[in-house]
């Protein structure tokens, strides 16, 4: 089975900090995605990547950037964390139909 690993389950960061959320998949998938999940809003796509060094904006990219230097790793970067970025962040990878999701990182910005 494909495994998608997010390095942190819980993070607490201060306003203004630069935050890195890491995601690694072990099945050589080309497509990787970052979502944020908020109650009542479902999943919203932040960024995705079709291949190494490629990135595309999703529906809510403002305040975020991404990095994909290696196929297996897709990092989400909060350049200057703000309290409205407190959320659950989910990484996913895909080949063919259907995503495989990581367990999520619950980020709190104080």
Partner 1 sequence: AQSVTQPDIHITVSEGASLELRCNYSYGATPYLFWYVQSPGQGLQLLLKYFSGDTLVQGIKGFEAEFKRSQSSFNLRKPSVHWSDAAEYFCAGSSSGGSYIPTFGRGTSLIVHP
Residue of 8, 13, 45, 67 interacting with partner 1 (CB under 8 A): 45
Interface with partner 1, residue 103, by CB under 8 A: yes
CB of 65 to partner 1, least distance (A): 19
CB of 42 to partner 1, least distance (A): 4
Interface with partner 1, residue 86, by CB under 8 A: no
Q: Taking Cα atoms as reference points, which of 84, 105, 76 lies closest to residue 15? A: 84
CB of 43 to partner 1, least distance (A): 4
Task: Report the 10 Å Cβ neighbour count for 54.
Answer: 12
Interface with partner 1, residue 100, by CB under 8 A: yes
d(CA 73, CA 87): 21
The residues, ordered by sequence, that sit 6+ positions from 109 with a Cβ below 8 Å of its Cβ are 12, 13, 14, 15, 17, 19, 81, 82, 83, 85, 86
Interface residue list for partner 1 (CB under 8 A): 4, 9, 33, 40-43, 45, 48, 58, 90, 92, 97-104
């Amino acid at each position: 089975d494909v495994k998608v690993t997010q390095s942190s389950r819980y993070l607490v960061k201060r306003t203004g900090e630069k935050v890195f959320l890491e995601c690694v998949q072990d099945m050589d998938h080309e497509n990787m995605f970052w979502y944020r999940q908020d109650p009542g809003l479902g999943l919203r796509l932040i960024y995705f990547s079709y291949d190494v060094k490629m990135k595309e904006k999703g529906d809510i990219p403002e305040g975020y950037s991404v990095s994909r230097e290696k196929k297996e790793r897709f990092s989400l970067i909060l350049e200057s964390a703000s309290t409205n970025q407190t959320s659950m962040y989910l990484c996913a990878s895909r080949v063919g139909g259907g995503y495989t999701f990581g367990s999520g990182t619950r980020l709190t910005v104080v």
